[in-house]
Chain A
Amino acid sequence: MRLRIGFLAPTAILMAITMLAPLAIIVVYSLLTRGAYGGVELPWTIENFTRLWDPVYGIIFVRSFWIAAVATALCLVLGFPLAMFIARSGSRKNLYLSLVILPFWTSFLIRTYAWMFLLRDTGIINSALQALRIIREPLPLLYNDGAVILGLVYGFLPFMVLPLYATLERLDPALLEAAADLGARPWDTLVRVTLPLCAPGIRAGAILVFVPCLGTYLTSDLLGGSKTVLIGNLVQNQFTASRDWPFGAALSLALMAIAMVLLFAVRRRGEELL
């Protein structure tokens, strides 16, 4: 026991320094007044939090939730068949799994830039379609919500596939045979046996995708352009262009609080099912 605590100490210290300390700074900042050139000043105030109730920010929050939810749902719909396919491919499982995580070998920033090159008006897709005379004017593929969702789904799909794979791989094939034996067609088996038994994987994958999507700023900044402002971009703006650090801190605390409430709700629901 003593030994285990000893092994945990480095992690605990690292977490304290890199998580709790910055969190404390954010809390303190959120209660201070903005400085004229960035930074924070006294006096203490709760004005940064009362400003959050402005409907302008409410709309941004709702949009961020909506985009994160759509991206998560698409990851689930796309990731489930893929995870099922990998879980059933016998000796080639490991090959397919490494293909799923292959994109991680390149920076997320570079991969997002690559999407810009594909999607922009003079990008590969529009150029090719124009060269083939399928379209005359370039399609508006970039700088909209669709492009942001595409970028998020592309970026976070592996985080959905891996936990789904882990639960599907452990699923006893005899249960699927039992369902068929009792008269269930493949679709019934999926809905009545496979999906309920994969609920832990679905929950884990949904959390792993939804939470980072909710706070994204890189993808929405590069693929969404100035039209798509999400919470992440709003926070970033407060710390850069707007030079309103206290409000940025309040915004990120609000984001964190909402994400945690959601996590607890999902956890509670999961425990009820088990």
Chain B
Amino acid sequence: MPPETLLDLRHVSKNFATQRAVADVSLEVPRGAFFSLLGPSGCGKTTILRMVAGFETPSSGEVWLNGQRIDALPPYHRNVNTVFQSYALFPHLTVQGNVEFGLVHKKGHKKVSDDINRVLEVLKQVRLEAKASRKPSELSGGERQRVALARAIVLQPDVLLLDEPLSALDPQLRKQVRGELRDLQRRVGVTFLFVTHDQEEALSMSDQIAVMNAGALEQVGTPREIYTAPRTRFVADFLGAMNWIDGIGVRPEAVKISAQGRKALVTGVTYLGSFCHIAMSLVNGGDGGETIHAQVAAGCAFTPGQTVCVTWNPEDEVRV
């Protein structure tokens, strides 16, 4: 039995004054999934997130959540919560005040003592119980991000919307937080709709990825599917470096330098620690002079000007 669809976008479009931000996007997000919207800036992924949150109304199409049509509801009537790119923490409230903020607005809200336990539990989950009485201005970037997360998950939304939540963190921390976020999602079991322009982020965390370009959906699939079997040239290029030889794509890490194969002239060698990046130009390819990149073990010794042979396994070829 396929997993139940929780969030369903049906032919959603959004036009702004001068441009079409989202063009006829249909998406099904399964319950409990870590679902990423991946694409370059301006591709419409944030607009989709804002339409699910309720900050934008679709120009056409429908948004369904949990079997209920929600595209006309205001944000405060939707059981979705957002982790904003800037976190948007309330500066006049403490960490605890921020996390409690939404609880009084929950349907059927009654007991304050339940709230306090719930808030403490969530603060513990994001390891901030010791900083409950601090103001956001007294926290580090990573801590602020966790407050933003706690503030949203404490309300147990159907879908948690995350708008590039890692982009404000420094690169070292970002990699660590990726794992934490993924673990948190598994533990809490909330469906994540995660917007990012970073393919590594999307690949490492997602159950499913929807790749977007210029307002339209390019491909939806598991990370492995969209990396190894991209359906369009855009998807292939956006997910990682790709050599295009006679219309066939080969990832640099699939290119092997060996005794047999197509002749190529080494034009550049870049040592990158764990591997070497070799730039070559094909000697008598289809058009000749085509550039091809390979990623090889760091121990290999090649020098610019050297002629080599390149080959790859047919199963590593990508046809779009």
- Judged by a CB distance under 8 angstroms, whether B55 is at the interface is yes
Spot the interface stretch: B75-83, B177-185, B273-281: B75-83
- Choose one: B54, B106, B151; the contact of A180 (CB below 8 Å): B54
Query: A182 contacts B151, CB within 8 Å?
Result: yes
Say which residue of B74, B88, B151 sits within 8 Å of A174 (CB atoms).
B88
Per-position 1/0 for B101-124, Cβ under 8 A of A? 110011000000000000000000
> How many positions in chain A have a CB within 8 Å of any CB in the partner chain?
18
Option from B86, B88, B89, B102 in Cβ contact (under 8 Å) with A183: B102
In the assembly, what is the distance between CA of A197 and CA of B80, in Å? 25
Partner of B88, one of A177, A196, A273: A177
CB <8 Å contact, A193 and B88: no
A-B contact count (CB 8 A): 60
> Which one of A4-12, A43-51, A184-192, A219-227 is at the interface?
A184-192
Is B105 a contact partner of A178 (Cβ separation < 8 A)? no
Cross-chain contact A177 with B91 (CB below 8 angstroms): no
B contact residues around A193 at 8 Å (CB): 90
Task: List A contacts of B80 (CB < 8 A).
Answer: 181
Q: Does B187 contact A (CB under 8 A)?
A: no
Which B residues touch A180, using CB under 8 A? 54-55, 74-76
Task: Output the least CB separation between A197 and chain B (Å).
Answer: 6
* Contact status B90-A178, CB under 8 Å: yes
* Chain A: minimal CB distance from B231 (Å): 34
- Smallest CB separation, A186 vs chain B (Å): 9
B positions within 8 Å CB-CB of A: 53-55, 74-76, 80-82, 84, 86, 88-92, 101-102, 105-106, 151-152, 155
Interface residues of A (CB under 8 A from B): 172, 174-175, 177-185, 188, 192-193, 196-197, 273
CB<8 Å pairs between A and B, sample of 14 = A172-B88, A174-B84, A175-B88, A177-B55, A179-B90, A180-B54, A181-B81, A181-B152, A182-B105, A185-B105, A188-B105, A193-B90, A197-B91, A197-B92
